[in-house]
Amino acid sequence: MKKSISIIAILLLAATFVFNFTACGKYKGFKQDKESGIYYKFHILNKDSVKAELGDMLFLDYQLSMKTADGKDSILVPQFPIQEIVRESVYNGDVYAALGMLHVGDSATFILNADTFFYYMGGENPFETNDLYFTFKLNKLVPAAEVEEMMRQEQAAYEAKMEEFKAAEEPALNNYLAENKITVKPTASGLYYIQTKAGNGAKAENGKFVKVHYTGKLLDGTVFDSSIERGEPISFPLGQGQVIPGWEEGIAMMKEGGKATLIIPSSLAYGANGAGAVIPPYSSLVFDVELIEVTDAPSAPVVAQ
């Protein structure tokens, strides 16, 4: 299901930057809404258009800015499209009160109190100003009565797409095995373990700390991660759930100095979730691994895979 980007999440992202601002005092060109106390300025006003109501899904262009000490605009979040449902206000004069003032086609800027916002978020205002300038352009509105059905359809489309990924995994894995003439049998869990160099050192066992070099690839050969490229192996305690199950099982079959290829089905990797933008849902993965060291205690900072 496609997820909408929350305004609150965007604010939290913007709050990680430090700027030196001062409050700009009174707001020239702005009016104050008597009910919410929000200062607002409409750039485009379409009073004859549909007005946002509780539960409506809004499709907006959004920008967040502040004023610098010399009164100039400083953009924190450049304009880009978002979706947001109009909800009950958390406090008087919050962003949902602002959204409730918009009509389809409207463009407006609202000044919200930063101290109050961050207070209700459970933190402190990180900026040297108490003014957040939200600029919205309301492009489209889905009425509350239709939002549930729209979300149901999006969920159904998402689930159908997941089923496509799931159904494609086994044929893709079988094709990879055939093309690469891999005849080893999988373990009971489904892991394919192919030893490429026998190790002659200590055996990797649960509770031991292991140091591993690796290159991770999708079945099409796309490299999504490599400790070799970084020049830094990873170290972790085996059997503690700090790596994917396919690694736990595969590394435990090795001895220090050994090398192997692990072909890991998604059920032993990242499953239906995938991993970020690099590993799609239901992806079988290929790891070329080298077990560099096995120790009773970590010999380097522990890094989870």
For the annotated catalytic residues, the residue numbers are 214, 224-225, 244, 270, 287
Query: What's the CA gap between 280 and 272, in Å, rounded?
Result: 8
Q: How crowded is the C-beta side of 161, counted as CA atoms within 13 Å?
A: 11
- Reading the block at residue 48, the tokens are 């004859």
Query: What's the CA gap between 89 and 276, in Å, rounded?
Result: 33
At residue 272's C-alpha, the angle toward residues 212 and 217, to 5°, is 35
Is residue 168 within 8 A of residue 272, CB to CB? The reply is no
At residue 62's C-alpha, the angle toward residues 60 and 63, to 5°, is 170
Query: What's the CA gap between 108 and 98, in Å, rounded?
Result: 9
